[in-house]
Amino acid sequence: MATTAITTYHALTEAEAIALAAELFPEGARLECREIGDGNLNYVFRVSDQESGKGVIIKQALPYAKVVGESWPLTLKRAAIEAAALRKHGEFATGLVPEVYGTDEKLAYTVMEDLSHLTIAREGLIQGKSYPKLSTHIGEYLAQTLFHTSDFALHPFEKKKLAAEFSNPELCKITEDLVFTDPFFDYDTNDFEPELRQAVEAVWRNDALKLEVAKLKRSFLTEAEALLHGDLHTGSIFADDNETKVIDPEFAFYGPIGFDVGLFLANLLVQGITRDGEGRDTIVKHVENTWNVFETRFSELWKSEGIEDFRGVQGYRESVLEKIFRDALGFAGCELIRRTIGLAHVKDLDGIEDAERRIHSKKQALHIGETLIIKRGELASINDVTALLEEL
């Protein structure tokens, strides 16, 4: 797809979005456009043919975080990173990411496949949907994207070139602050109900917990293991009963493999907390299946496509997976805590209308988060993790 002749950045109008997308539609098609973005950071335009209903998506970065406004400037480079990550991950996770039709670095937009026939998984899960293939698809996505961009699959020159291309300091800083720092101190960005104050102050006073979070933050800061999605929560996944597509990798960078795994597990756990009975069992199975599929597929790729000289040394693969598992649990714990008391909450918890039940669920999220961080070295298997949910 051709890019525009516009050379200076400005926020696109709906008419401009239509003009940009026109070449992807039959000549003379009557096009309409709507801004449908509901995320924290960007504009998302859907341009569609009024007759066929077919559409394309134009996602444009703003020079600031949409949720806060111009007082929080943010690099436009994130749009190019997102498009490049969609393409790179799409090379390996076949059918699990949207197709990218075109990008424009100056205007900071990406034109991509319209996934409006699917539902954002967080929304569907809140409505009680079970998405039978979600965890199989995400386990596969995690194994394919993380293995193939790691030193286990790439020549070190190629891997380091990619790591440089995906340098993403501003977006990483958001995660360093909002996931790994602010929730653990009495900082202004935090946001929680007065009824949670006692529990939150206990987090702030818990030095053993803070020591473990400091170690996890250091891993995030320093361990360039693979090209991460960087923000793999259920709001970044479109799904129905058969299909799953991962969107929104603008936080992509080279980081610890367990981060993507942990974020997805945490967002499943948060949903599991809000359910009981069979509904919770569905989430328990998704948590277990995500890890099991990831571990199995990662191991298969290791054996079939691994290039590391030490790949055949007994116990090495197991020790790599063991580290990913422990990291994932710790990162999941941080995500659970930040989604409960930090700046960016989740609808799974905030949307619980009954105040008593909402506060109770949030305390449970804090409890599981703390346990995952503190006990990540002791929990022997993924079943020990789901036991935390079943014991609530």
Binding-site residues for substrate: 231, 338
- The single residue among 97, 120, 224, 373 that binds ligand ADP, judged by CB under 6 A, is 120
Min. distance of Cβ 8 from ligand ADP in angstroms? 22
Please give the full DSSP string across 120-166, using - where no structure is assigned.
Answer: EHHHHHHTT---TTHHHHHHHHHHHHHHHTSTTTS-HHHHHHHHHHT
- 37 or 279: whose CB is closer to ligand ADP? 37
Q: How far apart are CA 337 and CA 85, in angstroms?
A: 27
Counting contacts by CB under 6 A, is residue 349 touching ligand ADP? no
Min. distance of Cβ 325 from ligand ADP in angstroms? 28
Of 227-286, which residues contact ligand ADP (CB under 6 A)? 236, 247-248, 250
Q: Which residues contact 148 (CB under 8 A, 6 or more apart)?
A: 91, 92, 154, 301, 305
Among residues 336, 327, 328, 321, which one has the least CA distance to residue 392? 336
> Does residue 66 contact residue 43 with C-beta atoms inside 8 Å?
yes
Sheet architecture: strand order including 119-120: 119-120, 237-239, 244-246
Residue position matching structure tokens 């104050």: 197
Binding residues for ligand LNRAV4D5, per CB under 6 A?
Answer: 39-41, 65, 67, 174, 178, 231, 235-236, 248, 344
Binding-site residues, please? Answer: 42, 59, 113-115, 231, 248-250, 338
Min. distance of Cβ 66 from ligand LNRAV4D5 in angstroms? 8
Of 162-221, which residues contact ligand ADP (CB under 6 A)? none
- 295 or 348: whose CB is closer to ligand LNRAV4D5? 348
Q: Crossing angle of helices 257-273/355-374, nearest 10°? A: 150
Map residues 88-107 to x or -, x wherever contact with ligand ADP holds by CB under 6 A: ----------x---------
11 binds, among ligand ADP, ligand LNRAV4D5, none (CB under 5 to 8 A by kind): none
- 82 or 140: whose CB is closer to ligand ADP? 82
For residue 22, what is the DSSP state? G
260 binds, among ligand LNRAV4D5, ligand ADP, none (CB under 5 to 8 A by kind): none
Q: How far apart are CA 355 and CA 69, in angstroms?
A: 29
> Does residue 376 contact residue 333 with C-beta atoms inside 8 Å?
yes
- 40 or 136: whose CB is closer to ligand LNRAV4D5? 40
> Does residue 225 contact residue 150 with C-beta atoms inside 8 Å?
yes
- 47 or 328: whose CB is closer to ligand ADP? 47
258 binds, among ligand ADP, ligand LNRAV4D5, none (CB under 5 to 8 A by kind): none
Residue 226 is encoded by which pair of tokens?
Answer: 């693979």
116 binds, among ligand ADP, ligand LNRAV4D5, none (CB under 5 to 8 A by kind): ligand ADP
> Does residue 30 contact residue 10 with C-beta atoms inside 8 Å?
no
- Exposure pattern of 240-276 as b/e (b: 16+ CB <10 Å)? beebbbbbbbbbbbbbbbbbbbbbbbbbbbbbbbbbe
- 235 or 330: whose CB is closer to ligand LNRAV4D5? 235
Residue closest to ligand LNRAV4D5 (Cβ): 40
The one-letter amino acid at 328: A
- 166 or 298: whose CB is closer to ligand LNRAV4D5? 166
Binding-site residues for ATP, please? Answer: 42, 59, 113-115, 248-250
Residue position matching structure tokens 């250091």: 218
Which pairing describes strands 42-49 and 55-61: parallel, antiparallel, or unpaired? antiparallel
Min. distance of Cβ 74 from ligand ADP in angstroms? 11
> Does residue 373 contact residue 212 with C-beta atoms inside 8 Å?
yes
Of 32-61, which residues contact ligand ADP (CB under 6 A)? 36-42, 44, 57, 59
- 148 or 245: whose CB is closer to ligand ADP? 245
Site of interaction with ligand ADP (CB under 6 A): 36-42, 44, 57, 59, 98, 112-116, 120, 236, 247-248, 250
